[in-house]
Structure 1
Amino acid sequence: MQSVTSVPESLADEQAGRIRRYLVTMGVRTVCFLLSVVTATKGAPWWVWGSFAVAAILLPYIAVVLANAVRPRTPGSSAPVTPRGDGPDQIGR
């Protein structure tokens, strides 16, 4: 018997969370890109606009990895499937 606190998050909720995390990460990436352009045109030191540019380049990879990270299966949550012995007889009917 499972307790309410031990029930895993529903698949729809998990997927919605991953989509939300992806969109937030890509939003931060857009801000970093804009900040790199603005700071470069305003004459900021290279390491300032360079840091924003590097973040804008690396964040899409991070966003995709996080969006594709699914929760691990809990042990015992799936049972092996054993074939029934009536398979060939069904085909012959």
Structure 2
Amino acid sequence: MRKHGGPEVFRITGARQGLAADVRGRERRYVISMTIRTLSVIAAVVLWNVERHVAIVALVLGGALPYIAVVIANAGRERPPTLPSTFVPGPTRPELPTGDAPAGRRTERSPGQS
């Protein structure tokens, strides 16, 4: 996704992004992972006689990253986004009090009641 200085664009559909954009994103993640792997293997070689513990950690990282990168790259397409909520609740009305009639009001009695 490119950042432009223009106004913010809202997505109003539940459709996924295009296949070309999805493949491009996967390739980008794979290249970044392989770059980190290459740098960690180079760091392991450079640090082997200087700081052996750090070199071993970098070597393990360089050995594990290809597997992780392939799993991430082949994870599949993203899930379709949920649609934005179009329901806007209206203003709430206050409820009438329950119970007895308000003070100061008389209730009418039918004839025959005392």
Q: Does TM, scored on the shorter chain, surpass 0.5?
A: yes
Unaligned runs of 5+ in 2: 1-10, 81-114
Q: C-alpha offsets along residues 28-80 of structure 1, whole Å, 9 cap, x if unaligned?
A: 00000000110113x2142x111100000000001111111112565xxxxxx
Aligned counterparts of 2:51 and 2:67: Cα–Cα separation in 1: 27
Q: Which structure's residues are more often helix, by fraction?
A: 1
Distance 1:72 1:13, change over 3 A: closer
Contact 2:37 2:65 in 1 (8 A): yes
Identity %, equivalent residues: 39
Q: How many residues align?
A: 70
Aligned to 1:39: 47
Contact 2:40 2:58 in 1 (8 A): yes
- Stretches of 4+ moved more than 2 A in 1? 3-7
| 2:28 alignment partner AA | R
Matched, 1:61 2:67: yes
Q: Which has the larger Rg?
A: 2
**Alignment map for 1:1-93 (pairs within 5 Å):** 4-41=12-49, 43-46=50-53, 48-71=54-77
Superposition RMSD on alpha carbons, in Å?
Answer: 1.8
- What SS does structure 2 have at the residue aligned with 1:6? coil
Unaligned runs of 5+ in 1: 75-93
Distance 1:30 1:67, change over 3 A: same
Aligned counterparts of 2:78 and 2:29: Cα–Cα separation in 1: 18
